Structure 1
């Protein structure tokens, strides 16, 4: 590979599910243009421009004998659709998945209506163009429309049809928590392939956070404390907001820190898991 590598690690993989029944051991090397799966006897090149789906999940039944988790990369090359499967466990592979999505999506032209809704109210905000950029926890819009969608606060997303520049377009409608409450952002990309990949990215990050959150037990008082931190900001007097004394507040915060929901860093901040917990429970608190 002549271009610089941005990922390079050794793992097991199936370079092509149509021709390989079992995994081989080798190197996975990624540049800004391609992914190369290099085993001792062969090398498979996956052009990023041909990738149309990426999944990171528990290995399906027929692969469970070889892998616990898998990264499945579906792509088109020379007119044929192919699938490669990479062993998916570990921090290195998680970083690799994010790099793949960055390589596929970053810099893409996006048309966005932000916000399209505030709560249940439709706004008169027009669609504006900009650039799309993803990171482990965010979808960022830069340009005429500037916004950052925190994936940990997404509560719902779906495909919708909207009028854009004189024609009906398929786009992604994402409901998430803004600074002052729930908002909906509508996004359209020029490429249907990239639209599918953006939906996959949001679903992947959303699902991972929800799975982690499912293992965390929260009391009603802890939920109320998380919502108060979200609503009041890092510098608020939380004891006053919650109506508890300092010792009781300290106990709340220590428990939430132990559960990786809150961090204390010159102020009290929610972690991505904490924001996911708020987005899941805030409507219950406000009822």
Structure 2
């Protein structure tokens, strides 16, 4: 399968103000989080997307009217129900934003509604409507404010897509939390459910493994990329996942697979204290570009959160101990610490957002796992 784009430009993302906020509910951006699948195959015709876009907008209008007409428990119940268009599409995103739609040469932002289903993104005002099929999206750049609109926006996501044979872009701006939450859902809509060719592990340390490639699915979580096995494909391979906080290095390379040149994402990450390389490939260069964008984005988010964190050696030992043992292990005895000293070290780790609670039992945050994995990599080197 071929695609219309082989671009994979770097994305530079500024630090997060609150790393825990991206997993919290945002009242302004309502979603069921259920965008699981997208087929690949380029842009839809303008006539079809316009008709289906009208269905989606009409479902939104009907839902808004129902919300006005009803009150009490019935209204609350309806607010929780998933809104659907006539063709069964689920509206998974709905919020108000300023945007420049469709590569408008004037770069004049307008205010309107951003709606998204599993299949399409719609930017609607009272006068205009731009419909972007998810399968036409070839690039998602978060946090980059184009020079043409930087005077209007503080934080943006830029979406590149194909209309006919022409590349177009739309820029959506807003507060950081809303844009980042929307962007994660957009990545999931574009990639979740994709058929993926995986070689895991391709290397353990510097040793090349004779591991066969296998087909599997793909699912994006905030903290990981999950390959859930081949149940859908009728096979029984075990699932595995790449913890994005464990990633040390990744690159996109070109390989010949089944007599066809394809992009391969090579990811080095820490697994059970060892450096492991996994290789991931999809037939669509468009999807490979988006997956590279996603890994780069989350990697920079996590790394930026710990950029200014300095952990004392004794406190780092506690963090590594928590990482290496289960919650049932007596960390104080293992590290020969009294209870007061352990409480002090746990408090420091919690204040630096490296663990989820300042009391045991607790888990490491993605930032905490990142710090530990860097330490493990330094030891391995």
Q: TM-score, normalised by structure 2?
A: 0.71
Contact 1:18-1:82 within 8 A present in 2 as well = no
CA 1:98–1:124 in 2, change beyond 3 Å: closer, same or farther? same
Is 1:263 the counterpart of 2:356? The answer is yes
Distance 1:5 1:20 in 2: 30
Larger Rg: 2
Question: Superposition pairs for residues 186-201 of structure 1, below 5 Å?
Answer: 186-201=279-294
**2:156 alignment partner, SS class:** strand
* 1:272 aligned partner: 366
Greater Cα offset, 162-171 or 83-92: 162-171
Alignment of 1:129-208 (within 5 A): 129-142=215-228, 143=230, 144-162=237-255, 164-165=257-258, 169-208=262-301
| Per-residue deviation, residues 6-43 of structure 1 (Å, max 9, x unmatched) | 00000111113343322111100000111001123211
Matches of 1:280 and 1:61, distance apart in 2: 35
The count of corresponding residues between Structure 1 and Structure 2 is 287
Runs of 4+ displaced beyond 6 Å: none
Q: Which of 96, 102, 105 in structure 2 is aligned with 1:16?
A: 102
**Deviations 1:99-144 (CA, angstroms, capped at 9, x unpaired):** 1111111111111111112222222211111101111121010223
Relative to structure 2, which stretch is displaced further, 26-35 or 238-247? 238-247
Q: What is the RMSD computed on CA atoms of the aligned residues?
A: 2.0
Describe the SS at the equivalent of 1:214: coil
- Which shifted more, 81-90 or 106-115? 81-90
- Quote the Cα distance in structure 1 between the aligned partners of 2:321 and 2:277: 22
- The answer to whether 1:211 aligns with 2:304 is yes
| Structure 2 residues without counterparts, runs of 5 or longer | 1-55, 57-84, 231-236
Kindly indicate whether residue 133 of structure 2 is the aligned counterpart of residue 47 of structure 1. Answer: yes
Extract unaligned runs of 5+ from structure 1: none
The answer to which structure has the higher strand fraction is 1
Q: Which has the higher contact order (CA 8 A, sep 6+)?
A: 2
| Preserved contact between residue 130 and residue 145 of structure 1 (Cα < 8 Å) | no
Q: What CA distance in whole angstroms lies between the structure 1 residues aligned with 2:309 and 2:284?
A: 38
Task: Find the counterpart in structure 1 of residue 334 from structure 2.
Answer: 241
